[in-house]
Structure 1
């Protein structure tokens, strides 16, 4: 009877999986490694990755490999892996934020091989004889304030350069600086961000890239400014959790976008409006100071 019950359970699971796959249109199937330990990990990983009729994740706790099937017109592998990382699980695409990992139950706190390798390179340690150490108790150098600033400094500086170009209504300069920002975004090593920065970065990185591309490829200053408004909101979210060398001013223009308004960040407390340039250079106010 037990054998029959097990067979029936397996058949039920297979039928459920086939049914889930059948509901997904434009289906693409890929495999990727996701770190974890147990059946509880499996439940959490699959719950984080699954979206009804859009994405299905099947994770094997023994091989640590996941089969993901998704509608390529509605999502992609990065979006699925990002959700799983935010749930606390490192994978081949994204490293989970430290605070998300720390919230996992004890049985689910897998050996963070990705983090250990990074720390070993930075500290010049010989891992021989250290395999039984609790690496979660080691304080990674990546949380040092100086490294946090250096990882994101180029992102902020290129953003401010775009702001200055738009203040001067210089379409060519704004495009060039946006191209530089795109490069600095790609150059960020998430493993060296603080836990808070890491969490926010994973949420905004796709939109940052999209906003930046819109500015870099456009020759129309009004389109650049619209994209800059969206870019500013994402940069603001990042600036709020990042350590800054100097104060940053979050400023507001009440007139932009038909009176709906828009915000931007500046290294100066003096208002220099990037949405209207010389037409209304001093229009606006500082609504928050980030230190």
Structure 2
């Protein structure tokens, strides 16, 4: 078995450029777990995961310039499997097949560690660790804020019925979306980003490829739906208002996000500038 694993790692290293190999513990039970863990972690020519159900140890081989151990383990956690660094969401774990629902040792260990940290004085190393975490979070928040700010600028262009500006600003949105590194996001934001990113990218692209204000506003409906799902989890540094116009979308109604509580309708502009109302405040 050891020889087979060594050969597998050697082959994976040969296929992956800038290969880095690490061994980590991932919790699971059976061959079905093995398949799910490896499928979640693998990325063609970027990352390869080999998991042993007996030892619970996984060998990660990956291109260190394109991904990281954290990104791989987050994907595996989102598939339902704990590691010592990342815990699977309870809702995902609960949906695993009965034979795959392993004892959650990692969750107990992490919970115990967190409890101990709250009752002891942090040493210098802990301060350094928390500082690094704070810096990382600040960077992530900044990238997401650029996405949100780009959205608001695009919304303002639609309020002004400026199709040319909207097309240009939609390109800025696409650039901001591409700049977000999913692997650096907090777990809850990571999960929603995975679900909404494709829709956000498609809507921004569609808006950027036309200056027809009517078409842009149609695409903005789905764009706003996806953006709402992200911003209500990731939050913004000031309150954000979800607003609704019952006349938009051929009378079906449509939402948008605004930094101002005062209604300025992006679907009608000056024709019905104040048509609508605030239906939710996100803060």
Calculate the TM-score normalised by the size of structure 1.
0.60
Q: Could you tell me which residue of structure 1 aligns to residue 255 of structure 2? A: 263
Asked if 1:100 corresponds to 2:88, the answer is: yes
The alpha-carbon distance between structure 1 residues 60 and 201, as it changes in their structure 2 partners (threshold 3 A), is: same
Unaligned runs of 5+ in 2: 1-14, 40-47, 53-57, 62-72, 94-101, 108-128
Deviating more after overlay: 276-285 vs 143-152: 143-152
**SS, match of residue 170 in structure 2:** helix
Calculate the TM-score normalised by the size of structure 2.
0.61
Distance in 2, matches of 1:211 and 1:42, equals 40
Asked if 1:198 corresponds to 2:187, the answer is: no
The match for 1:61 among 51, 56, 60 is 51
- Tell me by how many angstroms 1:220 deviates: 1.7
Q: Could you tell me which residue of structure 1 aligns to residue 154 of structure 2? A: 162
Contact 1:252/1:287 (<8 A) preserved? yes
Distance in 1, matches of 2:144 and 2:199, equals 16
Distance in 1, matches of 2:180 and 2:201, equals 12
Distance in 2, matches of 1:41 and 1:266, equals 49
Contact 1:148/1:242 (<8 A) preserved? no
Contact 2:36/2:79 (<8 A) preserved? no
The match for 1:275 among 267, 273, 276 is 267
Q: Deviations over 1:128-169 (max 9, x none)?
A: xxxxxxxxxx66616865344212011001000110011111
Distance in 1, matches of 2:49 and 2:141, equals 36
Contact 1:45/1:84 (<8 A) preserved? no
**SS, match of residue 267 in structure 2:** coil
Unaligned runs of 5+ in 1: 1-29, 51-57, 67-80, 91-96, 110-137
- Tell me by how many angstroms 1:223 deviates: 1.5
Q: How does 1:1-291 map onto structure 2 within 5 Å?
A: 37=26, 40=29, 43-44=32-33, 46-47=35-36, 60-61=50-51, 64=59, 86-88=78-80, 98-100=86-88, 105-106=103-104, 141=133, 146-291=138-283
